[in-house]
Amino acid sequence: MIKKLGDEAKTHDFVTRLFRNAPVLDGGERGATTTFTQHGLGDVLVTFKNRGEPLMHAGKPHRVLPGFPLALGYTLVYLALIVLIPLAAVFLKSTSLTWEQFWAVISAPRVVASYRVSFGASLLAAAINAVFGLIFAWVLVRYSFPGKRIVDALVDLPFALPTAVAGIALTAIYAGNGWLGQWLEPLGLKVAFTPLGILVALTFIGLPFVVRTVQPVLEDLDTELEEAGFALAFARAVGEYGSVIFIAGNVPMVSEITPLLIITKLEQYDYVGATAIAVVMLVVSFVLLFLINGLQFWANRGRARS
């Protein structure tokens, strides 16, 4: 009422006059309603919907459930010890380099070539998965066919199968004497030990991310989450190591991925160099992570509103 009339004095005045003109005044809301409807007394029934107010304004929002300080405290300490402090160590370690030194490490030709391989192959793999993952999810959502249960369960195989196992299996398939390699190589298509092999490995590990993000969304035909699936597949692919190194051939400047360069530097005891490259990768993945969470947050909010 204060909002409608502008200020408190006017409101006070209005309410006073209202009460003064009322021949019948009953205290409680229920009493007034009874007087008005049952006994037919009075011309206007004024009620105040303010019963929720005292609860909402009685100090803090009221917590019935126990354990909040313990649960949150434990969460924060564990998060700091296992994730935040160790990751901060990477950034701190990189500050032992001057900016010029840092730049020299991260822009060395071999390192730049590895970004091109890692990011290029990841982007391409994510694009392939966006197309085929969408078809895959569409087929799983829209159609029924024999064996669908098994197909649906096996989509998550790349989540569950250790990356090293995937790596040696893919290599065995696409090597020159492998099941597919022996047919592809005469056609001039060398897959294993070339950048194409990296693409195959990254497509394998990225597939479930797209399918599982898109699948539940296909019902409403939302588009934001398709992008989230793409970003998830890309983020996973950029950092991937195990499934790639077996099939990549790891030729410097051609088929060497960035995570492998970090390991190479570590093996040469070049800790600072390894850290500098790690910082570049971390910054990229943090940006992606916030992007993904942002997309999912907006998508959820959009759905809640509609």
Partner 1 sequence: MAAAVATHWTAHARRFEVNAATREPAWIKGTLIVVALAFFGLFLLLPLATVFAEAFRKGWQVYLAALVESDALSAIALTLLTAGIAVPLNLVFGVAAAWAIAKFNFRGKQLLTTLIDLPFSVSPVIAGLVFVLLFGAQGWFGPWLMERDVKIIFAVPGLVLATIFVTFPFVARELIPLMEAQGREEEEAAIVLGASGWQTFWRVTLPNVKWGLLYGVILSNARAMGEFGAVSVVSGHIRGRTNTLPLYVEILYNEYYFAAAFAVASLLALLALLTLVVKSLVERRGRQQLSVGEESGAST
The footprint of partner 1 on this chain (CB under 8 A) covers a number of residues equal to: 99
* Binding-residue pattern over the window 196 to 225 for partner 1, x denoting contact by CB under 8 A: -------xx--xxx--xx-xx--x------
One-letter amino acid at 2 equals I
Q: Is 274 in the site for partner 1 (CB under 8 A)?
A: yes
Contact status: 164 vs partner 1 (CB under 8 A):
yes
Q: Please state the separation of Cα 272 from the chain's center in Å.
A: 30
Pick the binder of partner 1 from 14, 19, 103, 179 (CB under 8 A). Answer: 179
Which one of 108, 116, 242, 249 is in contact with partner 1 (CB under 8 A)? 242
| Chain residues 32-91 in contact with partner 1, contact rule CB under 8 A | 61, 63-68, 70-72, 74-76, 78-79, 82-84, 86-87, 89-90
Could you write out the DSSP letters of every residue in 149-182? HHHHHHTTHHHHS-HHHHHHHHHHHHSTTSTTHH
Q: Say whether residue 249 binds partner 1 (CB under 8 A).
A: no
Task: Determine the residue type at 69.
Answer: P
Sequential DSSP letters for 73-140: HHHHHHHIIIIIHHHHHHHHHHTTS-HHHHHHHHTSHHHHHHHHHHHHHHHHHHHHHHHHHHHHHHHH
- 257 by DSSP, 3-state: which? coil
Structure tokens at 243: 């499934």
Site string for partner 1, 109-138 (x = CB under 8 A): -----------------------x--xx-x
Q: Does 93 bind partner 1 (CB under 8 A)?
A: yes
Binding test (CB under 8 A) with partner 1, winner from 5, 127, 173, 196: 173
Of 40-48, 108-116, 183-191, 290-298, which part binds partner 1 (CB under 8 A)? 290-298
Taking the least distance from each CB to partner 1, the nearer of 190 and 212 is: 212
Which residues in the 95-114 window bind partner 1 by CB under 8 A?
A: none
User: Ramachandran region of residue 147, left (φ > 0), alpha (ψ -120 to 50) or beta?
Assistant: left
What does the alpha-carbon distance between residue 266 and residue 284 come to, in Å, rounded to a whole number?
21
- Please, which residue, 194 or 215, has the CB nearer to partner 1? 215
The DSSP element (H or E) to which 33 belongs, if any, is helix 29-39
25 is an interface residue for partner 1 by CB under 8 A: no
Identify residues 140-159 at the interface with partner 1 (CB under 8 A): 140-145, 148-149, 151-159
Q: Check residue 283 and report its DSSP letter.
A: H
Work out whether 14 is an interface residue with partner 1 (CB under 8 A).
Answer: no
